[in-house]
Amino acid sequence: MLLYDADGLKIRAHLQAGLNGVAEQNLFWNFADSFAPSSDYNPRKQWLEGYIKPGISFNNDLNERLHLYGKASAVASGTLGIDAYDTGNTGRITLEEAYLGVRTEMSAGTSLDFSYGPREYKVGTGMLIANGGNSGFERGALKFGPRKAWKSAAIAKLSYDGFNATGFYLQPNELPDSSSNTQFLGTELRYNWGTESFAGITYGHVVKSNSAYPKAAPDGIGAPSILPDAREGLNFINAYAIGKPLPNIIENLIAGGEYAYEWNDQINLSAWAGRVYIGYNFTDAVWSPELAVAYQTFSGDDPHTSRLERFDPLFYEGNPSSWSTGSKSSMVFINSNVSAYLVSLRVKPTERDALTLRYAHIRANELLSPIQFGQGTRVETNDGVPNPIAGVTSHHLSDDVFLEYNRVLNSHTYLTVGFSVSFPGSGIDSMINGKAPIWTGGFANVVVNF
């Protein structure tokens, strides 16, 4: 929304708002009945959540080569009713973005850009660095997750034609009651050869954090140990490439691959993750179907070694079209010690309507090893000897199916309706020593964006 445009100065107002109704049944496959029977947790939930995000931005052309810019915004969010994590009837107003930047055109095709302050920022495809803000719990709007900006961000970028070299410092905007106080530095080299084709490599180092890591018990027998402040000192490298590999031969084919490696000599950590992806858009067929298949995997801690192999997903972009592992299952399993085969099919009956069907077959990489923080720690008896164990004893975790309908009501208003089902696998069943129920849920929301 353009408010002012004169003498090289442009001022715009921004407004985003959403309202979302959610219903869930057999939440978390009714784990509470087995692991927290005294909690009185209700696995059937219905709640209403919403948010509003107003903002204002400016861009000032001081001359042909020097430009100043900035943005300020806030988020007011809340939940009416009790959500999936047993929190509700609450909400908060928080600062979202408040950054200033300067950009200079050094020569034709070459520019230098620097900004500082809370802002959104994503590296690569969002495998490790994307979601800088937390919602849900006392802030409300759990499903929407309207907060994306980092609490503190310093970003310097040198661009030359399609090449970008970026250095960054980031600190996430976490929930006050569960903040990890993580701060990290990094650099990214990236090349863009088309609007949807790019490749790059990122290196990062966590300079400060009090985030703990779980470590599997030797041979998986016993409760996991917790390593305090284990994220501090973490190093990571992330290489990625995605785009059209044969634009002159198969124009509508998109393929990609990604790999990440993490290490921390202070705690003897060595972990890895990766993904391969291929998709095709049948533009000449009825409803222009888009079919994509992918496989993604994140290492878990091998209980038979003294080294820690648990992958830390850091601040990944966790939505079904990006890096979430499943629809329902992504609420339980973060991207650590899991792998998934993913298939999606999207059709567009009209220019304003789209239907997307997603399927995920999800597995644990390491047995008797934490998938989250010692999830499923319990006592099992082998040869008459009771032993505490964690993780799962069978690789198959779940099969998730998610059907989503999107409707563009007008140029600023969007309707989304979704229904998802998670069928528990033998791994989930092994945690409760029985047959877990099918977890179902749905939502309907409207988002307005100016």
| pLDDT tens, residue by residue, 282-298 | 999 999 999 999 999 99
Give pTM, 2 decimals: 0.94
Residue 319 has pLDDT above 80, yes or no: yes
The stretch 164-178 carries a mean pLDDT of 96
Residue 357 has pLDDT above 70, yes or no: yes
In angstroms, the first-to-last Cα distance of the chain is 7
HSE at residue 207, side-chain half, CA atoms within 13 A, is 8
Neighbour-count burial of 132, counting CB atoms closer than 10 A to its CB (0-12 exposed, 13-18 middle, 19+ buried): buried
- Considering Cα of 191, then 197, then 199, then 203, what sign does the dihedral take? positive
| pLDDT tens, residue by residue, 79-93 | 999 999 999 999 999
Distance, in Å, from the CA atom of 397 to the CA atom of 425, rounded to the nearest integer, reads 5
pLDDT of residue 95: 98
pLDDT of residue 380: 76
Residue 245 is given by DSSP the state S
| pLDDT tens, residue by residue, 101-138 | 999 998 888 999 999 999 999 999 999 999 999 999 99
Task: Convert 203-230 into a string of H (helix), E (strand) and C (coil).
Answer: EEEEEECCCCEEECCHHHCCCCEEECCC
Residue 382 has pLDDT above 70, yes or no: no
The stretch 180-209 carries a mean pLDDT of 95
Q: Select from 122, 106, 103 the least CA-distant residue to 114.
A: 103
Distance, in Å, from the CA atom of 135 to the CA atom of 20, rounded to the nearest integer, reads 14
Helix (H) or strand (E) holding 201: strand 197-208
The stretch 210-218 carries a mean pLDDT of 95
Residue 76 has pLDDT above 80, yes or no: yes
The stretch 394-403 carries a mean pLDDT of 97
Q: What percent of the chain has pLDDT over 90?
A: 87
Q: Which of 308 and 319 is assigned the larger pLDDT?
A: 308
pLDDT of residue 194: 79
Q: Select from 154, 231, 152, 166 the least CA-distant residue to 198.
A: 166
Mean pLDDT of the chain: 95
79: CB partners within 8 A, 6+ apart: 47, 48, 49, 87, 88, 89, 90, 91, 140, 141, 142
Confidence of residue 381 (pLDDT cuts 50, 70, 90): low
Strand partners, 442: 23, 419
Residue 42 has pLDDT above 80, yes or no: yes
Q: What percent of the chain has pLDDT over 70?
A: 98
pLDDT of residue 377: 75
Residue 432 has pLDDT above 70, yes or no: yes
pLDDT of residue 38: 87
Confidence of residue 65 (pLDDT cuts 50, 70, 90): very high
Q: Select from 291, 224, 284 the least CA-distant residue to 255.
A: 291
210-219, 349-358, 365-374, range with the lowest pLDDT: 365-374
